[in-house]
Amino acid sequence: MKYLLSIVTLVAASAVSGPVLANMQLAKSKNCMACHTIDNKVVGPAFKDVAKKYAGQKDAENKLVQKVLNGGAGTWGAVPMPANKGQVSEAEARTLVKWILQLK
């Protein structure tokens, strides 16, 4: 019985963490982690800080997808975020933004 409970727990944990890990891999593969981390400001803001800033904003997802694709400046200080069109598709940007916005 303990063995079965361990298996069920492991499967449930992997089902929950699977998307988180997959989106972290996407962020790494698209070089987002060169300027961002989940918890701490590096060159750009921490992803958790982005999630807090945009929490509850109806247009946050679309606004941030455009920032990922086209770049931006001034929201988080003087260092601009470069455009990523060509390196990140709109679908990938949307996946990344959804992942970032759900971080707490």
Q: What is the mean pLDDT of residues 21-36?
A: 92
Q: What is the mean pLDDT of residues 50-79?
A: 96
Under CATH, to which class is 2-101 assigned? mainly alpha
Q: Is the pLDDT of residue 72 over 80?
A: yes
* pTM of the model as a whole: 0.79
DSSP bridge pairs for 36 = 41
User: What pLDDT, on a 0 to 100 scale, did the predictor assign at position 79?
Assistant: 92
User: What pLDDT, on a 0 to 100 scale, did the predictor assign at position 104?
Assistant: 84
pLDDT level of residue 22 (50, 70, 90 thresholds): confident
User: What pLDDT, on a 0 to 100 scale, did the predictor assign at position 20?
Assistant: 58
* Chain position carrying tokens 């988080």: 76
Cα 30 from Cα 55, distance rounded (Å): 24
